[in-house]
Amino acid sequence: MEDDRDRGLLYDSDPSSPSLSPPRPFALTFFDRERHVKFLEMMYHMLPRPYQSQEINHLTLAYFVISGLDILDALDRVHKDAVADWVLSFQAHPRSKADLDNGQFYGFHGSRSSQFPSKDNAIFTPNGSHLASTYSALAILKIVGYNLSNIDSESMLTSMRNLQQSDGSFMPIHIGAERDLRFLYCAAAICFMLNNWNGMDREKAKEYILNCQSYDGGFGLSPGSESHGGAAYCAIASLRLMGFIGDDCLSNASAPSSKANIRSLLDWSLQYGGFAKSPGVLPDLYHSYYGLAAFSILGEAGLKPLCLELGVTEAAATGL
């Protein structure tokens, strides 16, 4: 029988856990690595009740936990094979090759509930696999050392093309939803991790990204929208993954308009500063993970270096 300490992410939120109150703010003069390890290890074993509303994003929460522990060099706290088996159980599979032409996407479901057939506005929806969940799933599998060549990448990538729109953007799910740079990034990262670009038209994707750059140098999530730090990351990381930006992008900041305006982006980026949700607020997985990622980028001792484009450690990205 499976040991309890190895089952954590297989469970949903603990309905009996009490509501948690925000802690009193206090100052630490050092980076307390073990404190962060304990926090993520606790989340690995059982997500507390406040996360019940995020059940649909279960795989994404798991990505924050597993990748966070990897950054902290603490993957020995989890059972890697059990994690891989759990993630693989969320994959959607076509019944036959003919299903690849039915407009659906055969990636990964975000949670157990999204695997249940449902009716939405009288439309039968048997497949709820999602681009963000698929990115999270593949990232977790890379982190725990699973060989991605065992994945049915042909079905995944062939059906993923159904999500790309005529303007180069991507919907996250085949039944329709908002289209913006977040999901284009997920598609680019999926193709990169699988080492196969059959899942998208890179030229169309590049044009969409360039159309999202604003007059102030930043990037909006969609053309004409307000510049946003997350959108800027998705834009530049996608161009980098797709091979349109190289290591010399800063020295060639005045390159032709076929690339993003890097000089203008740098000027925009230097107008903001700092990071945090707010003092005295209860820690959560989202901000905890990206806080650890920031410390890794800043070179904090004891943390593993991050592959910025994929959002996983360099060791996980290269398979070392």
Specify whether the CB–CB gap between 308 and 237 falls below 8 A. yes
Domain spans of the chain? 33-45+54-115+126-317
Instruction: Tell me the per-residue pLDDT of 218-265, one tens digit each, with 9 for 90 and over.
Output: 899 999 998 888 888 999 999 999 999 887 665 454 444 457 888 888
Instruction: Tell me the per-residue pLDDT of 184-196, one tens digit each, with 9 for 90 and over.
Output: 999 999 999 999 9
Question: Token pair for residue 280?
Answer: 């005295």
Say whether pLDDT at 312 is over 90.
yes
To 10 degrees, the CA torsion angle through 52, 56, 58, 63?
A: -130
The rounded mean pLDDT for the chain is 83
Instruction: Tell me the per-residue pLDDT of 100-115, one tens digit each, with 9 for 90 and over.
Output: 888 789 999 988 877 7
- Rounded to an integer, the average pLDDT of 156-185 is 91
Q: Cβ contacts of residue 31 below 8 Å, gap of 6+?
A: 295, 300, 301, 302
Distance of CA 5 to the CA centre of its chain: 25
Fold entry, domain 33-45+54-115+126-317: Glycosyltransferase (1.50.10)
Specify whether the CB–CB gap between 189 and 234 falls below 8 A. no
CA distance 178 to 176: 7
